[in-house]
């Protein structure tokens, strides 16, 4: 069975999308449609913008969504047995399997990114990848801190991302280093995504999501919040709303996909970040 997986923030690069634009007339139409809907030249930011501009949450999320969905639509034989998306990538996956339209997805991503960027500007937060410690140890240290810092992305065995207020994040990182973390890598983001800090964004976004027309999924989608497969539109919508403040259970959902028959994973988006993470899950858990 084939599983198609869609990346989130961190997979962007300068010049992204030019290859798709030059390859396909459908890609040209969708890039232009994106510019028309958004009211600014997103393709110019993607094709010619600096990395400094592209890494801003408002533009990063749009760029990755547009790229990923266009790539799915121009792929030969895109007929997945199951799909999943990492954080933002979940919206790309849902569009690719026609749960909602490209246009609605684009407006939703724009709203999501703007709300998250808004919080980043008045709450100083961040994220860090912790390598080489058991999840339970990291969870315990986060819980013991008196600030806001939580596990946010369960990527693969020995790799967990934490999010929180800057002061709390620094304290927890120092504690984890002392007790044996092999490596700690700060992510190039200015927000504590998938943490309680995003609650105001979640409340505003939920009202917007409720207005969008969702269809049942044509194949199982394994969502970040539960790591389990769903197909019903109401379940998909509920999980999507909860996603902003809940951890991404990527390790768990990949395990579930494998247990349910996935034997190949095709990444649809810029870069191949998820391929590496998924291969790590295969190697460390299933010894294949």
- What pLDDT shows up at residue 122? 86
The reported pTM is 0.94
Q: Is the pLDDT of residue 288 over 60?
A: no
Nearest CA among 113, 79, 110 for reference residue 96: 79
Residue in the block written with tokens 């409720």: 210
Question: Tell me: the pLDDT tens digits for 85-140?
Answer: 999 999 999 999 999 999 999 999 999 999 998 998 888 899 999 999 999 999 99
- What pLDDT shows up at residue 204? 95
Residue in the block written with tokens 């599983």: 3
Catalytic residue among 87, 152, 156, 217: 87
- What pLDDT shows up at residue 34? 97
- What pLDDT shows up at residue 190? 79
- What pLDDT shows up at residue 83? 98
Phi-psi region of 39 (alpha: psi -120 to 50; beta: other; left: phi over 0): left
Rg (CA), the chain: 18
Q: Is the pLDDT of residue 57 over 90?
A: no
Beta pairing, strands 159-165 & 125-131: antiparallel
pLDDT band at 284 (very low <50, low <70, confident <90, very high): confident
- What pLDDT shows up at residue 120? 87
Q: What are phi and psi of 191, to 5 degrees?
A: -135, 160
- What pLDDT shows up at residue 140? 98
Q: Is the pLDDT of residue 286 over 80?
A: no
pLDDT band at 285 (very low <50, low <70, confident <90, very high): low
The number of helix segments (H) and strand segments (E) in the chain equals 13, 9
Find the DSSP H helices in the chain: 18-23, 25-38, 42-48, 51-54, 57-74, 89-96, 102-122, 135-144, 166-178, 199-209, 233-242, 250-259, 273-281
- What pLDDT shows up at residue 17? 95
Residue 87 annotated to the active site? yes
CA dihedral 10, 190, 194, 269 (to 10 degrees): -20
Question: Tell me: the pLDDT tens digits for 30-48?
Answer: 999 999 999 999 999 999 9
Domains of the chain are 2-121+195-286 (3.40.366.10), 124-186 (3.30.70.250)
Q: What number is the average pLDDT over the span 139-159? A: 96
Instruction: Give percent of the chain above pLDDT 70.
Output: 99
Catalytic residue among 194, 195, 217, 246: 194
- What pLDDT shows up at residue 262? 93
Question: Tell me: the pLDDT tens digits for 204-238?
Answer: 999 999 999 999 999 999 999 999 999 999 999 99
Residue 213 annotated to the active site? no
Q: What are phi and psi of 186, to 5 degrees?
A: -75, 135
């Amino acid at each position: 069975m084939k599983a198609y997986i869609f990346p989130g923030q961190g997979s962007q690069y300068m010049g992204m999308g030019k290859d798709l634009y030059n390859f396909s007339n459908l890609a040209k139409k969708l890039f232009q449609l994106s510019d028309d809907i958004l009211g600014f030249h997103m393709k110019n930011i993607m094709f010619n913008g600096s990395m400094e501009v592209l890494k801003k949450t408002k533009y990063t999320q749009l760029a990755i969504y547009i790229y990923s969905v266009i790539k799915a639509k121009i792929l030969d034989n895109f007929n997945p047995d199951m799909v999943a998306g990492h954080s933002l990538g979940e919206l790309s996956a849902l569009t690719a399997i026609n749960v909602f339209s490209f246009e609605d997805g684009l407006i939703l991503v724009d709203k999501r990114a703007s709300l998250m960027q808004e919080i980043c500007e008045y709450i100083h937060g961040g994220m860090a990848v912790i390598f080489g410690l058991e999840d339970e140890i990291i969870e315990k240290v986060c819980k013991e801190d008196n600030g806001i810092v939580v596990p946010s992305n369960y990527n693969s065995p020995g790799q967990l991302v934490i999010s929180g207020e800057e002061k709390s994040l620094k304290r927890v990182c120092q504690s984890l280093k002392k007790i044996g973390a092999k490596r700690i890598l700060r992510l190039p983001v200015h927000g504590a995504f998938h943490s309680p800090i995003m609650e105001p964004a979640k409340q505003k976004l939920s009202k917007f999501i409720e207005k969008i027309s969702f269809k049942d999924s044509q194949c199982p989608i394994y969502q970040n919040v539960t790591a389990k497969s769903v197909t019903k539109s109401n379940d998909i919508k509920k999980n999507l709303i909860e996603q902003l403040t809940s951890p991404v259970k990527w390790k768990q959902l990949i395990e579930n996909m494998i247990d349910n028959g996935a034997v190949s994973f095709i990444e649809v988006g810029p870069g191949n970040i998820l391929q590496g993470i998924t291969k790590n899950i295969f190697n460390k858990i299933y010894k294949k």
